[in-house]
Amino acid sequence: MKNKFAERARIVKSSETREILKVTERPEVISFAGGLPAPELFPVENLKNACNAVLDEEGAASLQYGTTEGYIPLREAISHRMKGIGINSTIKNVLITSGSQQAIDLTGRLFINEGYTIICESPTYLAAINAFKSYDAKFVEVVMDDGMVMEELEKKLNNHPDTKFIYTIPDFQNPTGRTLKLERRKRMIELANQYDVLIVEDNPYGAVRFAGEELPPVKHFDTENRVIYISTFSKIFTPGLRLGWICADETFIEKYVAFKQTADLHTDSLAQRITAKYMEIYDMEEHIKKIKAVYKTKCTEMMRSMKEFFPKNLSYSEPEGGLFIWVELPEGIDSTHIFTECLKNNVACVPGTPFFPNGTQKNTLRLNYSNMSNEKIIEGIKRMGEVLHRELEKELTLL
Ligand SMILES: Cc1ncc(COP(=O)(O)O)c(C=O)c1O
């Protein structure tokens, strides 16, 4: 048979992280590779109660088709959460999506024509790169330290007047764990207004801050309704229910609704009702507090172990929330080789290269601390440390 696939089937390959995850599923491997929440934090018993209540009280409705916009009580609860973080919204501004990944994909469908430019952090979230690539986007990367460097962003906006939107993950970014400074949030809005571009603020981790001061989302400073805010229940509740949302101007939401209809009609009715019921019966904020406390301990344990076991000439981010630490190896060290050597030692991380949309930087690694026990974190970092010491010394002798 001749090739029947559309052109975009060549562009989009199965995510390298997903491929890596397959290898790391071996039980003997200590994995810092995925971005999975801690399973012991899923509120299984309370979810059973919420699920039973939904099926008892509104069984048929929860198994019926629903509206594309989403279940109203859940949209109300989200709108309430949005107000709590400084985003004024009503349910008309909220669309429930099947995970925030669907929101990202719909954003690509809605705003990107072939060859359109997107400005993003360098590095950025791999599955967003792949989603936007499937719509033939071009990526312009902006260097980051505490979030995007605004002088660089301005230069890029100047050099790329065809830019459609800035894609940013301001809080505890995936993959770096870094956070955009307050002043830069305001400046990003000023620049977006000046250059008339949209901002897509992808914020799955903002609610998982375990240290430092709370910062308002970029959308809080939005004076012209040009920020499309995307978030999710995946990191504060459970990823398996696949519930995310978009909070944006009504005119955007109407278009998203039209596109979502063609994708899946609506998000899982039962999952939406169970989540709304959970929030009615239980205190979601208390649950998130537990998550933060556990991640704080895990992150502290990983940082402490890295200081003890890793070579001294590495630099790494020190996150105040979220799930990830970013490691920068000396120039010339290929993190894919480090990954392969680590796997021989039954420990896994993710090489950083795929997180750079234009594929340039090779000496970085992403580590996840949310999914392993404290004991495994210490043991895994020790094993990685052995590999890093050995490989860095080899490199030195070659110089
Ligand atoms: C930055 C970012 N955006 C979006 C997502 C997608 O999350 P979900 O589809 O589970 O809501 C993730 C998942 O890890 C992420 O890291």
Q: Flag whether pLDDT at 180 surpasses 70.
A: yes
Which residues lie with the beta carbon below 6 Å from any ligand 1 atom?
Answer: 35, 99-101, 125, 169, 174, 202, 204, 232, 234, 239, 244
Q: Flag whether pLDDT at 14 surpasses 70.
A: no
Q: How far is the CA of 204 from the centre of ligand 1 (A)?
A: 6
Residues 98-108 have pLDDT tens digits of 999 999 999 99
Same structural domain, 114 and 259? yes
Nearest CA to 357 out of 11, 9, 1, 2 is that of: 11
Q: Flag whether pLDDT at 23 surpasses 90.
A: no
Residue 398 or residue 99, greater confidence: 99
List helix spans (H) across the chain. 8-11, 16-24, 44-62, 72-84, 99-111, 126-133, 150-159, 182-195, 250-264, 269-281, 284-309, 335-344, 374-398
User: Rounded to the nearest 5 degrees, what angle is found at the Cα of 18, between the Cα atoms of 16 and 21?
Assistant: 110
Q: Flag whether pLDDT at 186 surpasses 70.
A: yes
Q: Flag whether pLDDT at 169 surpasses 80.
A: yes
Same structural domain, 101 and 13? no
Q: Flag whether pLDDT at 379 surpasses 80.
A: yes
In a domain, 147, yes or no: yes
Taking residues 77-81, report their average pLDDT: 97
Pocket test of ligand 1: the residue of 125, 171, 238, 355 to mutate, having most ligand atoms within 8 Å of its CB, is 125
pLDDT of 22 reads: 76
**Domain enclosing residue 80, as ranges:** 44-281
Q: Flag whether pLDDT at 216 surpasses 70.
A: yes
Which ligand 1 atom is nearest residue 169's CA? 1
User: Rounded to the nearest 5 degrees, what angle is found at the Cα of 101, between the Cα atoms of 96 and 102?
Assistant: 50
Contact indicator for 193, 226 with CB cutoff of 8 Å:
yes
Q: How far apart are CA 256 and CA 103, in angstroms?
A: 8
Q: Hey, how many other C-beta atoms are within 10 angstroms of the C-beta on 219?
A: 25
In a domain, 311, yes or no: yes
Q: How far is the CA of 390 from the centre of ligand 1 (A)?
A: 34
Q: How far is the CA of 236 from the centre of ligand 1 (A)?
A: 12
Tokens 């301001």 found at: 170
Pocket test of ligand 1: the residue of 36, 42, 100, 169 to mutate, having most ligand atoms within 8 Å of its CB, is 100
Q: Flag whether pLDDT at 399 surpasses 60.
A: no
Q: What are phi and psi of 326, to 5 degrees?
A: -110, 130
Give the chain's radius of gyration (CA, Å): 21
Same structural domain, 48 and 195? yes
How large is the angle between the packed helices 126-133 and 99-111, nearest 10 degrees? 30
Least confident stretch, 5-14, 83-92, 125-134, 170-179: 5-14
Q: Flag whether pLDDT at 396 surpasses 90.
A: no
Which ligand 1 atom is nearest residue 173's CA? 1
Tokens 């009580």 found at: 73
Same structural domain, 275 and 385? no
Same structural domain, 105 and 118? yes
Mean pLDDT score of the chain: 95
Structure token digits, residue 207: 């609610």
Q: To the nearest whole percent, how much of the chain has pLDDT over 70? A: 97
Same structural domain, 342 and 243? no
Total domains in the chain come to 2
Q: How far is the CA of 392 from the centre of ligand 1 (A)?
A: 33
- Provide the pLDDT confidence category of residue 71 given band limits of 50, 70 and 90: very high
Q: How far apart are CA 265 and CA 220, in angstroms?
A: 30
Q: How far is the CA of 360 from the centre of ligand 1 (A)?
A: 23
Length of the chain: 399
In a domain, 2, yes or no: no
Q: Flag whether pLDDT at 97 surpasses 80.
A: yes
Nearest CA to 117 out of 72, 83, 160 is that of: 160
Taking residues 78-92, report their average pLDDT: 97
Residues 108-133 have pLDDT tens digits of 999 999 999 999 999 999 999 999 99
CATH number at residue 70: 3.40.640.10
Same structural domain, 73 and 218? yes
> Which amino acid does the sequence have at 263?
A
Taking residues 343-351, report their average pLDDT: 94
Domain boundary among 226, 259, 281: 281
Same structural domain, 224 and 290? no
In a domain, 3, yes or no: no
**pTM of the shown model:** 0.96
Q: How far is the CA of 396 from the centre of ligand 1 (A)?
A: 38
Q: How far is the CA of 320 from the centre of ligand 1 (A)?
A: 18
Pocket test of ligand 1: the residue of 101, 105, 229 to mutate, having most ligand atoms within 8 Å of its CB, is 101
